[in-house]
Amino acid sequence: MFRIFREYLFWTYERGSFHYDVMVTLILAFIFLTPRVWNYGDRPQEAKLAPGNVLVKTQAPGELVYEIPASQIQPTGSLDDQLLRDVQAVSGPVAIDRYEAVKEPFGKVKLYRVWAHR
């Protein structure tokens, strides 16, 4: 038994032999079955925008969704006017349908999501 374990550990079996096939099967089982059983804790990272960047997504033809970082908005002036100015700087003349503030878990506004159309 010790000899078999040592040969498995050092991979000394010939290709195509029974023990070689067992080793390959165990490796493949580990690769494909452990993500279902074991939570590795990795999640996709959220897209982080630099302070001056605006992220634009399309929902349907002519319908656009903009994500504007809150750090880009000045406390003076109208929020509607500032959002419209930032959106038009990226896409030209558009009409804003609605917008919402996206908040962090602590309640601080992280960004503004703006829906617009041409």
pLDDT of residue 50: 64
**What's the gap between Cα 44 and its chain centre?**
4
pLDDT in tens, 58-79: 888 878 899 998 888 888 889 9
User: What per-residue confidence (pLDDT) applies to 75?
Assistant: 83
Residue 36 has pLDDT above 70, yes or no: yes
**Of 20-29, 40-49, 104-113, which gets the smallest average pLDDT?**
40-49
Sign of CA dihedral 14, 15, 19, 23: positive
**The pLDDT of residue 113 is above 90:** yes
The residues spanned by each domain of the chain are 2-37, 55-117
